[in-house]
Structure 1
């Protein structure tokens, strides 16, 4: 017997305000007050619907590393993909399809997107993101990274996690300052830590700002061996976000070159 009750995801996403929250968080991580400004609704109403989305497992939240009084909200796109697939199967067996994993195309796009990843030290999160984006696109996207206060060297666990889990070697790379790329043109500026988001440089061509609120894996433990699991988790999180970024890069590029 077919259930007359709509799947949980459909019921959750059907509310106009919750759909707008999902849409905003699909593009970037945000704080509550930023969502209030973007959507034009009172904070208590925004917080209420965010709480419902968190209860459904679609949205997560964690304290900002810049200001612990704030929290950043993040949309779990993989959970959304699974929920959409389940909703399709509930409607008709022919719609019981596995979600296609986001992946890069092998052909060169008409215009190569340029993406800059920024964090504070440019020693872990941003160089890992740069390397993974370049790896996932086979060089068809121009990726760079820099930091507001670059460290002298890459963190050894960042080098290790890329080598052991992705077959990527960045041992010869050195952190660099955001000032060194300030005059370059980028299509997307992606900040990966909450601190650098507050001080990211201005670019003349106004790249699309995106924020991925990812905790510093080195802050979990001063011992490299003990902190390595945090680096694995960080790299996996970034890799998932990058896989879902690829269709966005492709879509924007193809749209911009249309006559």
Structure 2
């Protein structure tokens, strides 16, 4: 309490209200990014950007993962769920009637066309394709492909979709990214650090988004339950990210960017 008897502002306010940190959060709300990309986007020195990223990480809003393409690189990711919880708690601290604003619904018609991409198109990208199609009931056109597609979907990916989400993709076969380069996608989302570096050019200037998600198959063939658990965690992360993607599919770009 302050001397006037009023409660002090929640620490969350101070964490997100700084201009540079807010700009970092705004960029990370759209895509996972590397430090040098954030430096260019917010037009601030790297040491200053790194300082503010450390504060956001300490506050639990931002996480970092080593790039699977280049281990010397790292991708920063905004935890939108934690951010939403902080915003809701801040509103409630001011007035109990203030709460989270409902997200816009998915588009009623197939106005968005989304491509998910990874290297083999055998796990992460087909999982994302299946989950977005399920969540939107076919109202969003969605595809997936890989830069070096595998002969078949990974059995653990097929299993996790069937057992946890009731989706059967057993008959689906991986596709090559180059074969879809002439499609008119509105959103192109890479789920693999490697494939992000080899994207072909897509016509129509789609929104490019990156989700830095490790390959669940890279955990190695250990105990069967642990191996399957890695795929379950990956599917859960992708499903959570898709939940935040859907409202943006109905918004034109000018409404999204500040």
- What is residue 81 of structure 2 aligned with on the other side? 78
Matched, 1:30 2:29: no
Aligned-partner Cα distance in 2 for 1:171–1:38: 42
Q: How many residues align?
A: 252
Q: Name the residue aligned to 1:40.
A: 43
Deviation at 1:201, TM superposition (A): 0.8
Q: 1:99 Cα deviation (Å)?
A: 6.3
Q: 1:170 to 1:53 in 2, by over 3 A?
A: same
The residue aligned with 1:153 is 152
Distance 1:148 1:70 in 2: 21
- 1:228 match: 228
Name the residue aligned to 1:5: 8
Could you say what the CA RMSD is over the residues aligned between the two structures, in angstroms? 1.9
Which residue does the alignment assign to 1:131? Answer: 130
Distance change in 2, residues 1:180/1:42 (3 Å): same
Question: Is residue 103–residue 136 contact of structure 1 (8 Å, CA) maintained in 2?
Answer: no
Render the CA deviation track for 1:47-72: whole Å, top value 9, x for unaligned: 00000000000000010000111110
How far residue 248 of structure 1 moved from its aligned partner, in angstroms, is 0.2
SS in 2 for 1:13: helix
Superimposed CA distance per residue, residues 175-215 of structure 1 (whole angstroms, 9 cap, x where no aligned partner)? 01011111111000000000000001101212110000000
Q: CA deviation at 1:254?
A: 11
TM-score w.r.t. length of structure 2: 0.93
Please show how residues 176-195 of structure 1 align to structure 2 within 5 Å. Answer: 176-195=175-194
- In the TM superposition, 1:1-259 aligns within 5 A as 4-95=7-98, 97=99, 100=102, 104-105=105-106, 108-109=108-109, 112-223=111-222, 225=224, 226-252=226-252
Gaps of 5+ in 1: none
- Once the two structures are TM-superposed, the CA of residue 9 in structure 1 deviates from its matched residue by 1.6
Shift of residue 252 of structure 1? 2.4
Task: Label 1:103 to 1:240 Cα distance change in 2 as closer, same or farther (>3 A).
Answer: farther
* 1:11-64 per-position Cα deviation (integer Å, ceiling 9, x unaligned): 111100000000000000000011011111111100000000000000000100
Gaps of 5+ in 2: none
Deviation for aligned residue 1:168? 0.6
